[in-house]
Amino acid sequence: MKTYVVGGAVRDRLLGVPVNDRDWVVVGATPDEMLAAGYTPVGRDFPVFLHPVSREQYALARTERKAARGYHGFVFHAAPDVTLQQDLARRDLTINAIAEDPDSGALIDPFDGRRDLERRVLRHVSPAFAEDPVRLLRVARFAARWPLFTIADETMSLLKRLVTSGEVDALVPERVWQEVSRGLLEVRPSRMFDVLRACGALARLAPMLESCLADPAHGVLPLRAIDRAPASLPLRFACLCHALDLGPGDADEGLPRLHALCERWRVDGDSRDLAALVARAWPPLHRGREPLTPQRCLALLEHADAWRRPERLQTALTAVEALGAASDAALGAVVRGRCAQVRSALQAALAVQVASLPPAQRHLAGPLLGQALRDARLQAVGEAFARG
């Protein structure tokens, strides 16, 4: 039995980036031998075990063959006679098909992955790459992680084949969102969507988003914004969804498309709700025809449920500022100024409590109390605006 470090840990060490965890492949062992050595089985589809001390994952060397449509349609074979090179051959990219001998430090690199790392190229290991549609999403995500890497022409051809063959249609929404959400947190998330559009996948995975990003008047801004915005999934998703709201005024035109995208990808509730809030907040905060009045600001605070969730509004304002900055300097300045007004108004309105009402109003109840609080908040917002 011989163990090797494989995949991302070897790749990241060669790139000089921190290695967060290590995966191992075991050659020449059986499941019974792993159990006898104290490893805990965790794999459902093929033999994967946890080390008894480090709890790192150890997988038996295996091969795979396509037996049915989709990314679940593979039959795996794990046995002591499967070699390390056979195991590496089933991996997606050459840069992920490098192994390291922990005893000697020697690299086992049968597909020249180290050369592709030096040349900054994402290249598939074998034509079998086109059998697994998840690999399309992974390549797009890696492109977002490493902006200086290019995709080999022959690998892009296989990405397109995954689309034209219909394999991409077998991706379930949860897996699409899992990969997209990870890609949104990478260094340059716009590259992920560039790749998905270039190979034709986005038109199949989210046609409503593809059509909006293809619009030259509106598609560039959200992609610039997700690259500028802080690395928060709800925040960056909200910026991306700005592409769905093509109307310069009322967000109602874009909200149905937003809800359709969230349903299609099974987007988490926090990301969905923040995207809808940003769609509502953008019209009064950018260079609209109407000024930002205390009344409109209070309406925004109320819609955002700012009294109970002020932090969500703060995140929404950060997204709006990223969208403004991604547009032009003049609009960015307007948006920053209005967001500052809203933040100031929020703090003033949050200070309004029942105890701060005039004595005659403190004992009101129901709608009367609610109206008294609203009137006091509007006054507080107006005063905040007057202070500048």
Q: Are residues 191 and 277 in the same domain?
A: no
For residue 69, give the CATH number of its domain.
Answer: 3.30.460.10
Q: Is residue 385 part of a domain?
A: no
Q: Are residues 336 and 225 in the same domain?
A: yes
The domain in which residue 42 lies consists of 1-113
Q: How far apart are CA 102 and CA 94, in angstroms?
A: 20
Q: Are residues 6 and 27 in the same domain?
A: yes
Q: How far apart are CA 343 and CA 318, in angstroms?
A: 11
Pick from 93, 113, 133: which residue ends a domain? 113
With beta carbons less than 8 A apart as the criterion, state whether 107 and 98 touch: yes
Q: Are residues 136 and 238 in the same domain?
A: no
Q: Are residues 310 and 286 in the same domain?
A: yes
For 269-272, the CB contacts below 8 A with 24+ separation are 270/233, 270/234, 271/181, 271/233, 271/234, 271/237, 271/238
| Helix, strand, coil % over all residues of the chain, rounded to 5 | 60, 10, 30
Pick from 113, 131, 161: which residue ends a domain? 113
Q: Is residue 154 part of a domain?
A: yes
Q: Count Cβ neighbours within 10 Å for each residue of 238-271 and write b for 16 or more, e otherwise.
A: bbbbbbbbeeeeebeebbebbeebbebbebeeeb
- Give all strands (DSSP E) within 51-174, no chain letters: 57-60, 62-66, 74-78, 99-100, 107-108, 121-122, 150-151
Pick from 205, 240, 263: which residue ends a domain? 205
Q: Crossing angle of helices 233-240/173-184, nearest 10°?
A: 100
Q: How far apart are CA 180 and CA 186, in angstroms?
A: 10
Degrees to nearest 5, angle at CA 19 with 6 and 26: 25
Overall number of domains in the chain = 3
For residue 133, give the CATH number of its domain.
Answer: 1.10.110.30
Q: Are residues 101 and 168 in the same domain?
A: no
Q: Are residues 342 and 231 in the same domain?
A: yes
Q: Is residue 150 part of a domain?
A: yes
Q: Are residues 233 and 327 in the same domain?
A: yes
Q: Is residue 303 part of a domain?
A: yes
Digitized pLDDT (tens) for each residue of the chain, 388 residues in all = 899 999 999 999 999 999 988 999 999 999 999 999 999 999 777 789 999 999 999 999 998 775 455 555 557 788 899 999 999 999 999 999 999 999 999 999 999 999 999 999 999 999 999 989 999 999 999 999 999 999 999 999 999 999 999 999 999 999 999 999 999 999 999 999 999 999 999 999 999 999 989 887 778 999 999 999 999 999 999 999 998 864 444 556 678 889 999 999 999 999 999 999 999 898 888 866 678 999 999 999 999 999 999 999 999 999 999 999 998 888 899 999 999 999 999 999 999 999 999 998 998 999 999 999 999 999 999 999 999 7
Q: Is residue 181 part of a domain?
A: yes
Q: Are residues 68 and 151 in the same domain?
A: no
Q: Considering the entire predicted model, what is its pTM?
A: 0.89
Q: Are residues 237 and 172 in the same domain?
A: no
